[in-house]
Structures are given as C-alpha cells and as structure tokens.
Chain A
Amino acid sequence: MVEIKEVLKNLSNLDGPSGYEQPVLEYIENVAKKIANVEINIDKHGNLIVRRPGKGKRIALFAHTDEIAFVITKKEFGNYFRIHTFGGVDPKVVISQRLRIHTKEGISYGVVGMLEPHLQTEEIRQKNITFDDLFIDIVEKADKVQIGDLATFDSEAFELNEKYIAGKALDNRASCTALLYTLELLNQFIVSGDIYFVFSVREEDGVSGAINASYQINPDLAIVLDVTHGDIQRPSYPKIETGKGPVLDIGPMIDYDYFNKIKNLAEKLSVNYQIEPNGNHSSTDTDSIQIAREGISTLLISIPLRYMHTPYEVVNIKDIEETARLLSFFLARGGE
C-alpha cells in the first residue's frame, strides 16, 4: 500500500539534480516492484521505465524525476565558493539557505551567506541580488569540493496542516508519487492496455529524458504529469487552486479527443478538476513528446503547487490522490 505522504516525503528528501537522478530512480524502482508485477528497464539515457504489460493500446505516463539544482562555479579564498543554477531559481530564495554539495567523496555542506544588516551600506541594502552576488561558505569538507560539483537545497519535507506536504523537489516528485499510486490502484482493475510508467530524467536542464523515452516506446497516447502554479492569480489566467483536484491542460500540445474523454470520465467519477489554458508552450515535457516520431497524441495533467522552484514547495495530498484515481480508471478502460 502506497502511503502517499511517506512516499512523497521520502522522494522530496532524496537528491536528484538533472543528470544525477539515480537515488530517486532506485527508490521508485523499489516501490514499484512491491506494488505490482512489472517489467523494469533503464534506458540508455537513464530513464526508468516501469511496464505493466497488457493487451490493447500502448499508453505511456511520464513524470520527470529531476530537480532544480546549483553548480559550484568558482573557488574564492578560504572556504568560499561561487554558485550558479540551471533550472530557473530566484536568487533571493537561495539567500540564507544551507545546501548539500554532492562531491566525488560524499556530501559537503555550505551556507549561502548574507552580510549582517549592521554592516550593510545603503547601496547593499537596495541591491537587486543576482547569482553573481551570492557566495557559498562551505562549512563542512570544503577541501572535497570541486568546480562542477552540484548542490541541492538542504530542506527536509514535512506535513503542513495535515493536508499538505512542504519540501523541496515536489516539482516533480508529486507527480512521481501520483504515478506510483496509480500503479497500485490498477491492481483493482482488469486493465485493457499496455501501460508504461516513465520516470524520466533531465527535464529541468532541457527535456532530453522524456524525448528519448517517447521515441523508444512510441505510445498511442502519452500522458504527462507535472506541476503547475497553484493559489496565485496569474494575469489573464483562471486561478488554479490546491485542493481542487487535478488540472487538465488545454492548448496546442493537447490531443482534444483524449482530452474530452478524460474530462467526461472525471465528471462521471465526480473527480473535481480544473482547466488550465496554455499558449505557445506548456513548459513541460509534453510539447517535445508531441512531435516525437511521426507525432504522438498527448495529454497534460498538472498538480497544483505553491512556491515552485523554492526550498519549500507545497502540495495538497488530495490532489495527488484524485489525480491517481482519475488516471487509474482512464487507464483501465484503455484510455477511453
């Protein structure tokens, strides 16, 4: 039985920057093997593909496993180093954080320091902080740190008001958890379909993982799970809220036949859902999967999340449960 909160917290606490997702993939593989009789395959690119073999349409579900991270770029004097990021991080949320640095010889710790207010000049106080202004003070095993080592936030996941989990990397471990729970729910069905759960690598550094996997699997339908901005009013967008159910995305990357099918099913099952429009791009793996091979039908389902790409993202557990419930019925019916 997948304990959603536990699995999500464990996944959040594991570190898997783009290209270094191994610990996350191992954990997922172990959980998946306990849930069902599945075929496990790790492809050349590093994607973990969990197949639940069956007859009928080939349906592939995608969730990226990597997280935003930092890279050590320069050594200054003493224990001081400089950092940069890939994956879109606001430098302000990195200030006064402890980071785990993944060195060749294990974990080192560093603190991204901020000058004490007592010593700040007016100029420093008013300064718009960029990554070039940040420095990291490696307080543990500074001698092991090398240029090019990656670093992740040192935040530990916890329960927020029972309904939520707060932690790093919930983008996109929330979706990984939803896929594992979906796999479990499928045990209750006679499934008409050949189902692939793709735990892909390297989304945050440029989507290469999911593209590779979609070329190999060549599914009749690809369903991408990712997170979206919740509880914040974006100008010209409907307000997506946490706790109000899965978000069904629409836009140029979506196959509308399948979209209507899953939307109708949600209504039939009384799964609350929200609709999110996308313009030119969804900023997920979906757009790349759509144009793999001779073209692939795609759906995008998003889980609402607060404070994306910060050390404590927040998701509502109910949204993960409902996403999995909707998906399991949809898959059991062979994508109908």
Chain B
Amino acid sequence: MKLFLKELSDIPGVSGFEGKVREFIKEKIKDKVDQIEVDKLGNLIAFKKGKVNKKLMISAHMDEVGFIVSNIEEDGKLSILPLGSIDPRVVLGKKVVVGEKQILGVIGSKPIHLMEGYEKVSFENIKVDIGTTKKQEAEAKVKIGDFVSFAPNAMVHGEWISGKALDDRGGCSLLIDLILEDLDLYYDTFFAFVIQEETGLRGSGPCAFKIKPDLAIVIETTTSGDNPEFPEARRSSELGKGPVITPAHRGYVNDERLFNFAVKVAEENKIPYQIKRRTAGGTDAARIAITTGTPSLVISIPSRYIHSPICVLNINDYRNTFKLLSLILIKEVL
C-alpha cells in the first residue's frame, strides 16, 4: 500500500477539469495494467485480466467540488458558481487557485468590524480576489469559465490526514493501491476513474455503458457527522470504525447479494466495518445501475467535512477498506 492521498488531494481537479488528476493516476498505473484508455468524456479506464470471463467494474471519481468563474467584475474581482454542493459558509477566508495558469487568489470576507449583526453568506456575495483592481487587468490573467479550486493544503498527522479533495481522491488512491498490489483477480476487472460525480454523476454512466459490467463496486468517501454539534442518532458513520458498506442511498437500493457478500467477507476476516446509517447523498452506483442494470454496491472510507476546503480521513480506515476490497476482488461474488 503506497497511499497517494496527500499527493492526490493537492492536485486541482474540480468537476470538468480532472486532467491533472487523470495524468497523475495514469503515470502511476500504466505499466501495471493490461490495457488503459481515456474515453470520450475523460474517464480513465484501466483493465486487468482475471480468471473468468465476467466483468467487474470498480470505480472512484476523480473530481472534487469547486467553482467556475462566472464573471469578471469591473473592480477586477471574480464572481463564481459552485460545481458540486458546497455550503457557502465554508468558503470565506480561503486561498484558491484559478485556471490552467494556476493564478493564486483569496476569497475575502468583510471585516467583522464593519458588520451590522450577523450577515448571511451567499454565493452572490462571494468574490475571488486575484490582486487585480480593474476588469481589463483581470482579463489578462483569467477568463470566464476558468476553474477555481481550493489551494493545496494536505497534511498527514500520524493516523489522520486533512486536505481539500480527499472526496474522492481517497477512492482514487485505493484503486491505484489495488492495481499496484497485483492481486489474483477473479473477474476481468475494469478500474474506472470517472469524471464529474459532483455535478450529477456524469462520468460513470457512459463508462459503464461501454464496459457493460456484470457487477460494479463504487469506492467513495462518505459522510460521518460524528461531531459534538450533531446528535449521535443522526450520524451516518464514524471515523476509525472501518469501511462503510452502504445498503441504500438516494436513487438506489444497493444490490442485496453484493451487500451481503461484502459484510460476510468483513466478518470472516475480522475486518472492522460499519453499515451506513443514513440514505443521504447519491453515488455513481445509482447511475451505473440505472444505465446498465448492473448490480452495484458502494463501499466508502468514512470522512469528515467533505465538500469543504478541508476534509479529514483516518488512515486506519483506509487500510481496512483496502484490506476488505483486496479480499473481495479475488473472490467469486455472484
């Protein structure tokens, strides 16, 4: 296990701009797979031969939440639209990177001294400051349509890691680690690094349509809510308690056979695991099942504060998720 979490989290790759993430992954795996291709939409599909002539698709999404420049204002500041679901309250006072030229910027915030009472935050009032004071000056550096990504900030803290894009570079890192492990794969296995999950599950459907898998596993980082502000009864998972196996989420009740199989493997091998307790949030499993009718399952690393500039994962959870997946991939599931 090599854990590419830190490097992957620091690459800018908001939805629709996954190129740099794709290049990084391709470089790491290209010599370890039987075939590799990039499809029309930008999905990266790597193939490894298995023992039987049936196809398993295992996917993770390359994109992260971020923004697109929607206007360049007269005062040289940039207006933005979110890509993916972002709470506007998490973006104030953050450093950002804009466009292919990677222009640095700051999302400024009105000084508290000048506020009258509590001022609500909305994206209309959030502007990116790239240090330009005139529209023309800004236009020489950025253009409408450029991506805006939170600046690299990943840091490993012993058994914990914090960083902007762990959702779902955590999943991408697991897939790379599984490829490098040279497992004795049971199925013909398609490792799919897909685009634009955050903007409405856009990459996984066409990808599955092309592969036509017999079964699919989606690797995600999922919500937890295991913090002091949130009632314990409403948590969806907890960090440090192992991979999260999803029975059902928005848009798809996960395939019962796959779900039971994953639970059985975890039980038999004494791998800590948890069953996701909430149905909030959809994943590519829904899209894959809808597009191709493929039985699908989501397995996730429990995470905190996803869809914000700084998510937190527990590296033990990563290890246990890896362990569980490496056992599933060598077995007959269906």
Contact = CB atoms under 8 A, between A and B. Distances in A.
Report whether chain A binds chain B. yes
B87 A120 contact: yes
A311 B310 contact: no
B93 A111 contact: no
Contact of B228 (A80, A155, A243, A306): A80
A95 interface: yes
Nearest to A68: B112
Given A95-B90, A135-B227, A119 B104 contact: no
Interface string B86-115: 110111111100000000111011111111
A113 B87 contact: no
Given A113-B304, A155-B95, A160-B131, A140 B114 contact: no
From A96, A129, A158, residue with most partner B Cβ within 10 Å: A96
A2 B295 CA distance: 66
Contacts of A163: 131
Contact of B305 (A82, A111, A129, A159): A111
A283 interface: yes
A311 B59 CA distance: 37
B57 to A, nearest CB: 24
Given A98-B155, A114-B87, A243-B133, A139 B162 contact: yes
Contacts of B157: 109, 139-141
Interface residues of B, number: 57
A160 B131 CA distance: 5
A164 interface: yes
B274 interface: no
Interface residues of A, number: 56
A106 B188 CA distance: 51
Contact of B111 (A98, A115, A160, A307): A307
Chain B at the A interface: SS class: loop
Contact of A306 (B87, B108, B160, B278): B108
B85 interface: yes
B114 A117 contact: no
B131 A308 contact: no
Nearest to A128: B118
B103 to A, nearest CB: 8
Contacts of A115: 225, 227, 229-230, 305
Contacts of B236: 118-119
B149 interface: no
Interface stretch (A44-52, A86-94, A321-329): A86-94
A310 B87 contact: no
A311 B94 CA distance: 7
A308 B158 CA distance: 33
From B86, B92, B133, B153, residue with most partner A Cβ within 10 Å: B92
Interface string A94-122: 11111000000000010101111111100
A307 B308 contact: no
A229 B114 CA distance: 9
Contact of A229 (B91, B111, B131, B309): B111
B105 A113 contact: no
Interface string A117-161: 111100001001100010101011100000000000001001111
Contacts of A164: 131
Interface in B236-258: 236
Nearest to B118: A128
From B87, B90, B228, B278, residue with most partner A Cβ within 10 Å: B228
Interface of A: 76-77, 80, 82, 88-90, 92-98, 109, 111, 113-120, 125, 128-129, 133, 135, 137, 139-141, 155, 158-164, 166, 229, 231-232, 234, 243, 283, 306-312, 314
